Amino acid sequence: MAQLVKVRRVRIVGTGSYVPERVISNAELEASVPTSDAWIRANLGIAERRIAAPGQCTSTLAVEAGRRALENSGIPASAIDMILVATATPDRQAPATAPRVQAALGAASAAAFDINAVCAGFIYGLTVGAQFVGTGASSTVLVIGADTFSRITDWTRRDCVFFGDGAGAAVISSSDDDSGFMCMRLYADGRGYESFTVPAGGSEAPATAATVAEGLHTFRMNGRSVYDTAVEVIPSALRSVLEESGLSVEDIDHVVPHQPGIRILEESARRLGIPFSRFGTNMDRYANTSSGTIPILLDEMWRSGRISRGDLVALVAVGAGWTWGAALLRW
Cite the active site residues.
119, 258, 288
**Phi, psi values for residue 259, rounded to 5°:** -110, 75
Residue 326, CA distances (Å) to 47, 71, 83, 235 in order: 27, 27, 21, 10
**Tally of CA atoms within 13 A in the half-sphere of 331 that contains its CB:** 23
Tell me if 91 sits within 8 A of 151, measured CB to CB. no
21 C-beta neighbours (distance < 10 Å), count: 9
36 C-beta neighbours (distance < 10 Å), count: 14
Of the chain, the end-to-end C-alpha distance in Å amounts to 37
What 3-state class would DSSP assign to 60?
helix
Residues 6+ apart with CB under 8 A from 184: 123, 126, 127, 130, 241, 325, 326, 327, 328
Tell me if 159 sits within 8 A of 221, measured CB to CB. yes
The beta strands (E) that lie in the chain are given as 10-18, 22-25, 48-51, 82-86, 111-115, 140-148, 165-174, 180-188, 196-197, 220-221, 254-257, 312-319, 323-330
Pairing between β-strand 22-25 and β-strand 180-188 as defined by DSSP bridges: unpaired
From the centroid of its chain, how far is CA 156? 26
DSSP state of 127: H
The CA angle 299-313-231, to the nearest 5 degrees, is 100
Residues 6+ apart with CB under 8 A from 298: 12, 15, 168, 170, 256, 280, 307, 315
